[in-house]
Structure 1
Amino acid sequence: MAEEQQLRLDLDELRHLESIAKRPRVLSLLSSEIRDLDAKLSRVTAVTAAARQAAVAAEKVPVNVDAVNRSYVTLGSFSWDQDNDKIKIYISIEDAEQEKVDTVFKPMSVDIKFHDIHGKNYRFAIPKLNKEILPEKCKLVVKPNKVIVTLVKASKGNWLDLHLKEDKLKPNLDKEKDPMAGIMDLMKNMYEEGDDEMKRTIAKAWSDARSGKTADPLKSYP
């Protein structure tokens, strides 16, 4: 912010000098300097605005404390069978409640979370299925002592296994995507492709926008 203000003051003074200058060479020098400073001010203003937007948006991202601190017990007891169109997975678990089950079906993965079963949370996940499924047609049904998961195959045929050989059954620990990734990528690209002056400007603008509340994520860049 301080740099932007100084640039504006410099421009005001240069324009004043231009208005009273008489000699063509002086006018040309002043005009050239004004153009350079004007372009620099535009870059600094854009970077500062982007950094401020990123900082404000980051502070507004809701954090579900319960979800962050929640731990899960991996469910490993299950069986499965199939026909030409579907796969059925039978998970051994008692006292699960349909409304306390979070199910995420994707074309190549399954992630199921069981909440608050006698004070514990459980999870069954296949990060990479053997073949594609149709998420919108898959379903889960809770029974007294088990859960039945029906996966609808994207293409008919026999599966040799539920998961890819290199991805044995395990909890899916992939983190949620950072909603700030797009803005951060833009800032990093501007930083990496800019000259030394641009890098200093971006780093300073980001630091000012954050007002010292968090560490500057660009410090790791040369």
Structure 2
Amino acid sequence: MASALEELQKDLEEVLLEKSTRKRVRDALTTEKSKTETEIKNKMQQKSQKKQVDNEKPAAVVAPITTGYTVKISNYGWDQSNKFVKIYITLTGVHQVPNENVQVHFMDRSFDLLVNNLNGKNNSMIVNNLLKPISVEGSSRKVKTDTVLILCKKKAENVRWDYLTQVEKECKEKEKPSYDTEADPSEGLMNVLKKIYEDGDDDMKRTINKAWVESREKQAKGDPEF
């Protein structure tokens, strides 16, 4: 079936083919021709405007993927080689997320890891105050089965790190017993025993308590301590 525009065009062709020598007929044909041309022009404009509007319609908006809440990563392991400090983070299914979802940013003495949209949540880990400086350009990360491996390139190669961070080092050093040569030796020994007692299990505490009681009993009897 011909469209309305095609029908109008055919009508116009018939008007043009008409031949008349009488003024009234010629005027009527001219008027009809003008009306038909105007109608065709209007149809063409409507069609053009509709096409332009269709082209200007915005693309369908894709709703962003909901990534849920963010949790902090607290469990990890680390070791080192002559060139790298290696941090291992276990995240079940991390190898199945898009590569761009695993982001690590390195700085001279820190790094931060962000894993987006893993099982409906984000996973974040920030490590500041690394024990020694690292090379930002030489550091990288690898994604393995259920694991993210962070490779911090040592600026000073072949230098061993005793701790991962400066904070960890300071905490460990505070826990070490003091060996002040000017202090009372018995006080130092008591501090060591107290530390052992606090950190020990039930068997260790019973042993220390027993030794303490026996020592006090010997002192009461006048026997020398051993």
The answer, yes or no, to whether TM exceeds 0.5 is: no
Q: Larger RCO: Structure 1 or Structure 2 (Cα < 8 Å, ≥ 6 residues apart)?
A: 1
Structure with larger Rg: 2
TM-score (norm 1): 0.42
